[in-house]
Chains A and B, each alone.
Chain A
Amino acid sequence: MSDLAKKKIEVSGLSVSYGGVTALDSISLDVYEHEILSIIGPANAGKTTFLNCINRMIDSIPDARVQGTVKIDGDDVRQVRDVNALRRRIGMVFPLPVGLPMSIYDNVAYAPRMAGKTDKTRLDELVERCLRQSALFDEVKDRMGDLGTKLSGGQQQRLTIARALSMEPEILCLDEFSIAVDPVTTMRIEEVLKELRKEVTIVLVTNLVQQAKRLADRTALFLDGKLIELDSNEIIFSRRTADQRTFQYVQGLFG
């Protein structure tokens, strides 16, 4: 990414500890508008914690202590008064699919409705568009009234993505979305993400190194709560990494 690109998310000196145990250790990085930034790293590296700081889900963990700043479009997220409005700007997809206990339609219409958008025709359009974007529409168009929880795991994950898109977010965060999804569906979702980057900024946490290589513009390696290296994919997936550990991790020689 060139320096001319707009910074969408600016993280500086971000540290998080859970009851004294450090999960993130002064992370500083920027995410540019319309890029896909992927974050890789082994278990407990702090990847999920990082995402939770962006949309302030970390607030709901009582013993979490956060220091440093996360800015979106220049505004510190921790100064934001209306945290719900903030979260509507950030779509979040969790590792395991979560179909909410309501119909497929209602799942996608949930966030807009909760934000006060109830116009039926607009909702219909929105639901269809989001389901198309997440490559699920054709499979569910005849049974929009069925419970979302009755879909298969892969379908539910695409439903989750449709739901995350329903507020037309500026940022989409995905946390190991392919963990419960078959390879075919994973590839379909990856195609979806490539399309989406025209409209949104994507932060993709993944434990599939190849996925980061396929999708991302830049990749960051987290290790024990520290940012080891962040660079364009050309560098990260080459022999020219600045840190030896990055090369080892990418090559699967780690540990």
Chain B
Amino acid sequence: MTDTTSGTDEGQVSTSRRIAAIVEPAIEWLIRLCGFSAIFFVFGIFFFVFSSGADFIMNRLDVVEFMTSPEWYPTSVSNKRYGTLALVAGTLSVTTLAMMIAVPFGLGTAVFISEFCDGPFKEALKIIVEFLAAIPSVVWGFIGLAIMNPVIIDVFNAPIGLNVLNGGVILGLMSVPIIVSIGEDALKAVPDTYREASLALGATKWQTVYKVLFPAARSGLLAAVLLGVGRAIGETIAVLMATGHAVQIPNSPLDSVRTLTATIAAELGETAQGGDHYQALFAIGVLLFIFTFAVNLTADLLVRGIKNK
């Protein structure tokens, strides 16, 4: 009896082994394929964006003007200008302001949720944050237009409330949920033993957050901030609605601006496909690509730098 049982067992074992021998490599290949496809898509998109503007970029684009001139007159009949400096300044000013709001606010909220709340209150807060993340960007734009605009006019006595300040606040609020949820994950991943060790040494909760949890979670927190930056740079509709649509280098947060993304969104529909203007917008796309790449690369180097220290 023992013999038969062990015989069937062995049979089953070897069958399941044989299946595993086929399935495991297949799964491995599938995963590998997913990984490669990510690379493929990134390059594919970059290639598409670049090739759509390639003719213009290679042959007729004055790179110096493109990078250093604030004059963007793509539709002028006599004096076409393709300078993006004002647009870059628009993007940078709005993004910088957004981050000045979103980073402290987002990280603060992440710390609060992860370290200072528990039970149903914590869950409720997390749900609210997720809800914030789910608000469509056009709704944010509408808030900028309908609520922030009159408020800014009132409070700052500004002629118009659609400006860097408005766009920055809106973008900041949009980036907060990302920073909160990823930041909270990063803090949650820090082992409790660190907290206990620090508290048992007589450190306060804040000192523990500041001196132990931040360093321990730094790469996750940095990722949270950068995804927030990425969202801010890439956001289009909301900033289009909130920043006032004026191509100029801002002198104060109350000046209207236009961002790179808003320019593409606003103008692409009106251009002749394949024309210089059309292609110039794709050149802006390439510029945006380079921006985000630079942000990610810096982040990567920063994280590595900290790690090796």
Contact = CB atoms under 8 A, between A and B. Distances in A.
Given A84-B204, A88-B202, A110-B203, A101 B197 contact: no
B196 interface: yes
Interface stretch (A29-37, A54-62, A119-127, A215-223): A54-62
B199 to A, nearest CB: 7
B301 interface: no
A90 B197 CA distance: 12
A248 to B, nearest CB: 33
B118 A110 contact: no
A102 B200 CA distance: 17
Nearest to B201: A111
Nearest to B307: A147
Nearest to B190: A101
B48 interface: no
B201 A94 contact: no
Contacts of A70: none
B200 A114 contact: no
A167 interface: yes
B200 A101 contact: no
A111 B194 contact: no
Please tell me the size bucket of the interface on A: 20 to 34
B198 interface: yes
Given A102-B215, A114-B211, A167 B197 contact: no
A84 B202 contact: yes
A114 B194 contact: no
A167 B202 contact: yes
A87 B201 CA distance: 6
Contacts of A92: 200-201
B197 A115 contact: no
A84 B215 CA distance: 22
Contacts of B204: 84, 114
A100 B194 contact: yes
Most B CB contacts (10 A, CB to CB) among A84, A88, A166 go to A84
A129 to B, nearest CB: 17
Interface in B75-121: 118-119
Interface in A95-150: 96, 98, 100-102, 110-111, 114-115
Nearest to A59: B199
A163 interface: yes
A55 B196 CA distance: 11
Given A100-B212, A102-B215, A85 B202 contact: yes
A60 B203 contact: no
Interface residues of chain B: helix, strand, loop or mixed (majority): helix
Given A62-B118, A100-B194, A101-B194, A111 B202 contact: yes
Given A98-B194, A114-B207, A55 B215 contact: no
Interface in A204-222: none
Interface in A64-97: 84-88, 90, 92, 94, 96
A90 B207 CA distance: 18
A110 B200 contact: no
Contacts of A167: 201-202
Given A114-B207, A114-B211, A100 B198 contact: yes
Contact of A163 (B201, B212, B216): B201
A160 interface: yes
Contacts of B216: 101
A160 B202 contact: no
Given A101-B215, A101-B216, A110 B201 contact: yes
A84 B198 CA distance: 10
Contact of B212 (A57, A60, A62, A101): A101
A94 B202 contact: no
A168 to B, nearest CB: 12
Contacts of A88: 201-202
Contacts of B8: none
Given A101-B216, A110-B211, A96 B193 contact: yes
A110 B201 CA distance: 8
A32 to B, nearest CB: 23
A164 B198 CA distance: 10
A166 B198 CA distance: 13
A187 B175 CA distance: 54
A57 to B, nearest CB: 6
Nearest to A89: B202
B197 A114 contact: no
A87 B202 contact: yes
B147 to A, nearest CB: 39
Contacts of A55: 200
25 contacts: A57-B200, A62-B118, A87-B200, A87-B202, A92-B201, A94-B196, A94-B200, A98-B193, A98-B194, A98-B197, A100-B198, A101-B212, A101-B215, A101-B216, A102-B211, A102-B212, A110-B211, A111-B201, A114-B201, A114-B202, A114-B204, A114-B207, A163-B197, A164-B201, A166-B201
Given A94-B197, A94-B200, A101-B216, 10 more contacts: A60-B199, A87-B199, A87-B201, A92-B200, A92-B201, A98-B196, A102-B211, A102-B212, A111-B201, A166-B201
